[in-house]
Every structure is written in structure tokens, then in C-alpha cells.
Amino acid sequence: MMLTAHSGSDGTPDNSRQFIKEMLLAGIACVEVDVRRSQTGKLYLSHDKTFWSEAMLSLDNAFQILKTDSDALMNCDLKEPNLEQSVLALATQHNIQDRIILSGAVNLAHLPDPMYLKQVYYNAESIIPHLYLNWEMTKSQIDEIIQTCHTKGIETININYRLATNGVINRFHQEGLNLSVWTVNDFAEINRFRSADVKNVTTKYAISYLYQNVVRQAMGG
């Protein structure tokens, strides 16, 4: 299981230099950032739509920080459409294109190469727009998601953790599909997903979870 730090994890400012640097220093495997495009074409980090300012972190600067770590990944959660090619082109300039994960408003037709499919965590609500009206997936919804994944070559589906019951996890695994779940802040739930071999868990307490695991192991737990 990979642990991804949600933007602003462990009390750091959302989409900030401090957030990325602290997560990398702590050894977190992946950091999630929210990506938008300004009116002038600059890619920048922001959850909400707002005007770009120099006080905000650009994606270019975020990639420069990521490069200080030789292994960590960055999940670029696309907050608006038509960003795929620009994000991956910028990542290629930094030679980190294989360390980028795309989630959010991903249009698979806009990927510059089919090889990037393996780096997409495809949001389930992109298949079923009203999925989160209820906190339980029906069999027909599960079947539709699975069929779409097989048809489009999607390898990993991204869903809210409350829908990821053990039965749902097992069904996706039986179909050869990976699951990424968000945003899991309960350590017992993170451990459940670890035991169930879920591919990725995104949490707002990445360092805290990592630290408590280290302490438990040191105490022989």
C-alpha cells in the first residue's frame, strides 16, 4: 500500500512549499496537490478557483521541490479540464514524468501517450456522476465501473473510502483492478486498507500515521 499525503497534511498549509517539503523530509511516498491554470496559462496549486498571484505556488516550483527527492511521487489532482498534456509536458521538462499520478478531472483522450494510463487514478464519479448521493454502491454501479475500466484500459479507480467495503475491494481485485481511496484519517481504517492490499490511501495525517507505525514497531507491537 502506498501512503499519499493529502494537501495540507499534518497541519501544513494547503498546496504550499512547506507541505511538500515536510512530507518529503518525513519520507512520505507521495504528495497530492491541486492543479489549476491561470488566465495567462500558468499552472498553479489551488483547490478553489482563484486568480493566480506570486504568493501562490506554481506547479513548476512544486516539481522543482519534488526533484530534491529521488523517489517520491506527486499526485496532481486536476481541478479543471484540459490540463493533462500541460502537466505531463512540464513534468517531462523536469524529467519526472514517470513520477506523476493524475486524478480529478482527467480526460483519458487527452493523455499524450497510452503509457500514462498506468499513472491515472480515475475518479469513480467520472463514470457515475451521482455516485456519492448514497454511501453504498449498488451491484449495477460496481458492474458499470468495472466495465468502463476494462473498456478504457483504466488500471486504478479512485473512490471515497466509505464506499470501499471489503466486498467492494475483493470484487475489484477479482477483476484485476486496483483501488485508491480518499481521504482516510482514521488509522484503523488505513490499517484495514493495508491488510486488504489497497494500492493507495490518501490521508490528512500521513506523517502522524507513519510515526505511530514506527513507534509501535520499536515497542515490538
The CATH number of residue 53's host domain is: 3.20.20.190
> Rounded to two decimals, what is the model's pTM?
0.96
Q: Which domain holds residue 121?
A: 2-218
Residues 43-52 have a mean pLDDT of: 95
Confidence at residue 212, expressed as pLDDT on a 0 to 100 scale: 84
CA distances from 93 to 24, 42, 99, 151, 189 (A): 21, 15, 13, 31, 38
Inter-helix orientation angle 84-93/59-66, to 10°: 40
What total of structural domains would you count in the chain? 1
Confidence tier at 216 by pLDDT (50, 70, 90): low
